[in-house]
Amino acid sequence: MKNKMNSNLLIFLFLIILAFVVYSVWQRGVQAPVFTCRAHIVSEVATKTCDKTSVFDIFLSINEKDKGYILISGNYSCPNAEPTPVEGVIDFTYSKEGDYYSIYMGGRGDKFSDVSSVLKYGNLKMKITNLDHGVYMLSLPNDILMMCTKA
Amino acid sequence: MGQIIINGLVRFNTLDGTLLSLDNSMDMVTLNHVNSDLLLLLIKHNGVPLSRETILNELWEKRGLSSSSNNLNSYISLLRKALVRCGCEGLISTIPKYGFLFEAEIVFDDAALSPQPKKVESETLAHLPGNKIINSVTHSFGRGKLKIVLAMLALLLMVFSPDIYDYLRLKSIRTKLFNIEQCQFYLADEKTKRQDTTSTVNTIKSMAEKANMDCKHTANVYFFSDTYRDASGRVSRENLLAYCPYTGNAACENFFKVEYEK
């Protein structure tokens, strides 16, 4: 009888531990509803017109109500030319589809496409992968966008 | 290990108190620790009548516990049933108004538990070799220690399971390539991982030098590379080197370079 009670107790404890482990792992894998991160980007892109250099900061915010925004601040320039400043906010709405965020960009000027070619698209499928030390990898289905730090 | 074979039919493991039929015709029977000690005591006095007082004294009073003759009857009854289940019937006889007699053919597998000379067996339990009781206590202690070890392992698993999960998850995402001082360089996408390692390392070192990365402080650096061919056949290579410092809340610095092959 005592052995049976001990066995039952062990099974019960094992189930509690198992539930705790599964919950912890599940919680780690779940993306928080509110997400903000920032990154500094330096890019050198050879175009038909010039070898363009861009330096800008990006702040990405995704909130709970299927809305978010991208804050961009920086400039770009061609060799021997004055830097062109680019600043502004791009609002967007989004829906979550599996691992990916389907992002629908709001109104924005042409100036943003000079900063990054990705910003000219109206709809983006973006995945956010949590690495370590508050670092996230933002990627499209066929491309890596950038690494950013949780803000 | 204390292994005792009873009547050539049953193997009694004194360490875990189990009875196992030698021809595997029965399931294993596990005795509780009192019955296990009781059977060991009876075996040690095989063929010698044991008084109730002696048994009560050996199994309970010497350990600072108390019990009654009725309790002893219950344990004897349970032990008889367990032995019957293993095909050993009638090994324990009741001696009215005295106690019990255990009679069986006993073979000791373990030298440590080998039978004492007959003259010792015929002595009273007060003169029994102490190692038998010590063994019994050691077994209980061993079981207790095992439970503590298991509990500690379970606790460690609970505490560290998120870290273990993170470690395995990161291991599946990124592959470490090399170090420069405090910077650890990783590849984190399959396309880049498939590329020639030497060429990748050279490209990373060149970009890191140009970007003037601070590797005096701990940082993770991720490298991504891909090649595209447009409709006109022009091939471009995109490289991204992302420097993410450990400390503080500094943003990752992404160095992005697009080159067209001529």
CA–CA separation, A37 and A147 (whole Å): 9
CATH class of B3-143: mainly alpha
Provide the pLDDT for residue A3: 60
Structural contact between residues B20 and B11, judged by C-beta atoms closer than 8 angstroms: yes
Does this model's pTM top 0.80? My answer is no
Partners of B244 on chain A (C-beta within 8 Å) are: 131, 133, 135, 147, 149
Distance from CA of B91 to the nearest CA of A (A): 24
Q: Average pLDDT in the B138-147 region?
A: 65
Task: Give pLDDT tens digits for A21-39.
Answer: 787 777 766 666 688 999 9
> Which pairs from B165-173 meet CB under 8 Å and 24+ separation?
B165/A24, B165/A25, B165/A28, B166/A28, B166/A132, B169/A28, B170/A131, B170/A132, B173/A129, B173/A131, B173/A137
Question: Which of B261, B172, B259, B184 lies closest to B215, judged by CA?
Answer: B184
Question: Which of A46, A29, A44 lies closest to A129, judged by CA?
Answer: A29
Distance from CA of A31 to the nearest CA of B (A): 14
At residue B123 the predicted structure's pLDDT band, cuts being 50, 70 and 90, is very low
ipTM over the 0.95 cut-off:
no
CA–CA separation, B123 and B56 (whole Å): 17
Q: What are the residue boundaries of the structural domains of chain B, listed by start?
A: 3-143, 174-260
As a residue count, chain A comes to 151
CA–CA separation, A15 and A5 (whole Å): 15
How confident is the prediction for chain A on average, in pLDDT?
Answer: 85
Which residues of chain A have a Cβ shorter than 8 Å from any chain B Cβ? 2-3, 13-14, 17, 20-21, 24-25, 28, 38-46, 57, 129, 131-135, 137, 139, 143-144, 146-149, 151
Cβ-Cβ contacts under 8 Å between A and B: the total is 99
Using CB atoms, pick whichever of A21, A45, A132 lies closest to residue B158.
Answer: A21
Please give the backbone phi and psi of residue A2, each rounded to the nearest 5 degrees, phi first: -65, -40
Residues with Cβ within 8 Å of residue B17, at least 6 apart in sequence: B30, B31, B32, B33, B35, B36, B139
